Structure 1
Amino acid sequence: MPSKRLHAATLIALLLLAGVPASAQRRVPKDLSGVRGFNYMAAGGSGHLEHWQKYSAAETERDLDWAQRLQLNQMRVLIPYQAWAQDKATLKKNLQHLVRAANQRGIGVMPTLMYARGQATDKSRWPETRAFAADLISAVGKEPGLAFWDASNEPDCCALPPSPANRQRMEHALYIVKALQELDPVTPVTIGATFADNLPEYGDTEDVLSFHNYLPTRGAIAADIAKAKAYAAKVNKPLINTEIGCIARANPYDVALEEHMKAGVGWYIWELMITHSWGTVHGVFHQDGTIRDPTIVAALLGMFRDRHEDVMPSVPDREGFVTRAVANNKKWLADAGATWERGLDLAEISANLLEAGQLIAMYDPPTRTVDLLRKGAPNMPALRGAIEKYTAILDPFQLPPNDPTRGRPPANSH
């Protein structure tokens, strides 16, 4: 994994064909394995149209600061035709701001064109979409932060083999690729293919191959990546994955990221922010800067859970804390005069042991439950229920008094 963030302009410059002036040919990178990207929509939005209608420069810059902290270097952002049609000047101004703010943070941008219902399947309306593409180029085509154009998001969704309607949308996507290449002779163009199987449908025309992968097992993910890499090698074109990661499709971020990193394929997660659109199953950051799951952040930085056969097991009762917590909890539960404050402390101790020892699912963290109880009016039934639940989970992890894993290390070792 690169030790430093790749600035958008540097990423492209380092990968140009040696000795050929930029003005003489399109700046198509040879290798995109260093791409560490994300899809972006502001957390408060319920869709891409609303994102642009309510665009906030301050919120965008804050979110990009968080992306920078994760050492991410590329961003993909979807731009609906309707947002442009409603207010062209404002859309272009906001897109310029986004591209420039990203560039200041070493993040390249891939604008992805979205179309109004029926446009892609009605050839008489295709000139509308060409005008859309042309105006976006006029806005950011010469910006140093512009890294790629994505002519269409998943025109082949969601059938294998493609349906007749898919075929129409795919034909339109190729039409837009050619328009972008004609109107912007420098920036590489791609299409976000839903399936690696459909890459050959686009490969002769696009400059960069991109596919999506939400498959549910390591084997399936790895096989799909291998299929995409084989086709990329055949046509001698660079390859990236522009969408991975969905907790509801058995496609956990850490697994998907690890497989792509092992295969040397650059990636974009879906998505940086936990939004009102896909936020129940996608995203890293909540609007207040807290995160969904620390394992996602670790994986983005190239650090993964140890799943090897010789993993060092945790022993949460090594110093007797689990045993004491269980005993104290049971004593409090049996005490008719048990106090609220003492119960809260016991619940917090139990919650900390459960979370630190990874003894409980984190769908609803116990520490969150305790924090909400502390902030609210006293609710003894709720507190008793929490302590009973935590005690039952901790109970099997108590060690017998003479268990060899109990105790502290020898004095000379620590």
Structure 2
Amino acid sequence: MRKACRALAVGVFVALVAPVVSARDGAQWTPAEAHAWYAKQAWPVGSNYIPANAINQFEMWQADSFDPARIDKELGWAQTLGMTTMRVFLHDQLWQQDAAGFKKRIDTFLAIAARHGIKPMLVLFDSCWDPVPKPGKQHAPLPGIHNSGWVQGPGVAMDDPSQYPRLKDYTVDIVKTFAKDPRILAWDVWNEPDNPGGGNYTTNPKDKFDRVAQLLPQVFDWARSASPTQPLTSGVWHNDDWAPGAKLNAVETTQLERSDIVTFHSYDWPETFVKRVAQLKPYGRPMICTEYMARGAGSTIDEILPLGKKLDVGMIQWGFVEGKTQTTMPWDSWDKPYIQKPPVLWFHDLLHTDGTPYRQREVDIIRMLSKAPRGVVPPDAVSYPLQALKTAR
């Protein structure tokens, strides 16, 4: 995503069925603990998810627009593709607006996902797009523009240190409520924290990088204080080299030093994806690529997904169903909106609004790879030459 709680009875039930995790409460998982966790999971494959009828996090989760029936239908489609996870964005102002209702709706979502064999990764904060999030009725999509209604969280609230206790309370409450919930795959504590924002917005947090660099370690601490049985992570997404000893900025250093599992974004060509995996392998932790697939930028299902399967890297591409986010439009639509003529090549997304595939070959590859054993790529799913993987193994 870039351009340059539930009732007491339910909580008791989850506590009874939640698996015992060897990681120590309040401590970062060791690499061995992280690998033991990863070995018990189905290969993570899925999409960054928002229902087609929601423009952003508010419209997905607020009481008057939350749509369990639509979510159930769409996650049913995901199940038929063999998907095992979805990456889903929350928002601190949703908790501030209606904490009990928000947690109840998260529980409803998790129940729907579980019925379809899907364990979501939940995202707590996000630095992309509109920096001035406002709950309530959301504006209509701007014609021809990619992700024209997505909102940052906390956004400009970072400019006000008096808001930080609220951000802490949100983080601790959400994670603690679902800390032992086996229906959740992982917590992504902050999406692209040091992203300048994207779009044509004139307002952004002041000294954003410095504020994020200060807050991100605290967010890890807040989330870990709730002793979750799911791993914590935040994904690196830019700069040329993420290897140990490389020149990492303060945010990237926190991401790679504090995460239980390593996550990253790669919207690049397959050879770059392989290089990225090779850079991150020395950290000795399981890896999940939490954003990829930008057809016009060279990142495609055909070439990237089999690489992830062969390397046993979890894979979550951007966009599932064509909808109000308009992420079938490319990033450059912010500079030249595709109003008169939509692009022939979809940038993101897999399915039309009615569930039919944008391209059948893509969903066939997802199904084949999902069914195959860990690390095995069926010959019919191969596009990029797998012998090139020797640099990443």
Which of the pair has the greater relative contact order for Cα pairs under 8 Å at 6+ separation?
Answer: 2
Residue of 176, 180, 192 corresponding to 2:235: 192
Q: Is the contact between residue 42 and residue 59 of structure 1 (CA under 8 Å) also seen in structure 2?
A: yes
Task: Say yes or no: does 1:30 pair with 2:43.
Answer: no
Task: Say yes or no: does 1:207 pair with 2:250.
Answer: no
Residue of 168, 184, 195 corresponding to 1:130: 168
Give the corresponding residue for 2:103. Answer: 92
Residue of 145, 165, 168 corresponding to 2:183: 145
Task: Say yes or no: does 1:58 pair with 2:63.
Answer: no
Matches within 5 A, 1:14-413: 20=22, 28-30=33-35, 32=38, 34-53=43-62, 54-114=65-125, 115-120=153-158, 122-157=160-195, 165-195=208-238, 197=242, 199-215=252-268, 217-230=269-282, 232-233=283-284, 237-277=285-325, 278-280=327-329, 281-301=347-367, 302=369, 303-304=380-381
Q: Is the contact between residue 35 and residue 267 of structure 1 (CA under 8 Å) also seen in structure 2?
A: yes
Aligned pairs, how many? 286
Greater C-alpha Rg: 1
Q: Distance in 2 between matches of 1:85 and 1:117?
A: 14
User: Structure 1 segments of 4 or more deviating over 4 A?
Assistant: 20-28, 305-308
What's the CA shift for 1:69? Answer: 1.0
Give the corresponding residue for 2:138. Answer: none
Q: Secondary structure at the match of 2:263?
A: strand
Q: Is the contact between residue 99 and residue 140 of structure 1 (CA under 8 Å) also seen in structure 2?
A: no
Q: Distance in 1 between matches of 2:51 and 2:366?
A: 20
Q: Distance in 1 between matches of 2:155 and 2:24?
A: 37
Q: Distance in 1 between matches of 2:107 and 2:355?
A: 25
Q: Is the contact between residue 214 and residue 251 of structure 1 (CA under 8 Å) also seen in structure 2?
A: yes
Q: Distance in 1 between matches of 2:159 and 2:188?
A: 18
Which whole-Å deviations, capped at 9, do the CAs of 1:271-298 have from their partners, x for residues lacking one? 2222321233211122211111112212
Tell me: CA distance 1:257–1:271, structure 2 relative to 1, closer, same or farther (3 Å).
Answer: same
Q: Is the contact between residue 275 and residue 283 of structure 1 (CA under 8 Å) also seen in structure 2?
A: no
Q: Distance in 1 between matches of 2:26 and 2:110?
A: 24
The RMSD of aligned alpha carbons is 3.0
What's the CA shift for 1:22? Answer: 8.4
Tell me: CA distance 1:306–1:256, structure 2 relative to 1, closer, same or farther (3 Å).
Answer: closer
Tell me: CA distance 1:270–1:165, structure 2 relative to 1, closer, same or farther (3 Å).
Answer: same
Tell me: CA distance 1:127–1:23, structure 2 relative to 1, closer, same or farther (3 Å).
Answer: closer
Which segments of 5 or more consecutive residues in structure 1 lack a partner in the other structure?
A: 1-8, 309-414
Residue identity in the other structure for 1:259: L
Which segments of 5 or more consecutive residues in structure 2 lack a partner in the other structure?
A: 1-14, 126-152, 198-205, 243-247, 330-346, 370-379, 386-393
What's the CA shift for 1:258? Answer: 2.3
Q: Secondary structure at the match of 1:89?
A: helix
Which whole-Å deviations, capped at 9, do the CAs of 1:365-412 have from their partners, x for residues lacking one? xxxxxxxxxxxxxxxxxxxxxxxxxxxxxxxxxxxxxxxxxxxxxxxx
Tell me: CA distance 1:23–1:299, structure 2 relative to 1, closer, same or farther (3 Å).
Answer: same
Q: Secondary structure at the match of 2:194?
A: coil
Tell me: CA distance 1:156–1:259, structure 2 relative to 1, closer, same or farther (3 Å).
Answer: farther
Identity across matched positions, percent: 23
Which whole-Å deviations, capped at 9, do the CAs of 1:80-128 have from their partners, x for residues lacking one? 2222222223221111111122122221121101223223454432211
Residue identity in the other structure for 1:52: W
Tell me: CA distance 1:168–1:24, structure 2 relative to 1, closer, same or farther (3 Å).
Answer: closer
Q: Secondary structure at the match of 1:256?
A: helix
What's the CA shift for 1:23? Answer: 7.5
Q: Secondary structure at the match of 2:95?
A: helix
Q: Is the contact between residue 156 and residue 193 of structure 1 (CA under 8 Å) also seen in structure 2?
A: no
Q: Secondary structure at the match of 1:113?
A: strand
What's the CA shift for 1:306? Answer: 5.2
Residue identity in the other structure for 1:150: D
Residue identity in the other structure for 1:279: T
Q: Is the contact between residue 177 and residue 205 of structure 1 (CA under 8 Å) also seen in structure 2?
A: yes
Give the helix-richer structure, 1 or 2: 1
Return the TM-score normalized by structure 1. Answer: 0.62
Which whole-Å deviations, capped at 9, do the CAs of 1:21-44 have from their partners, x for residues lacking one? 988988753064822132110011
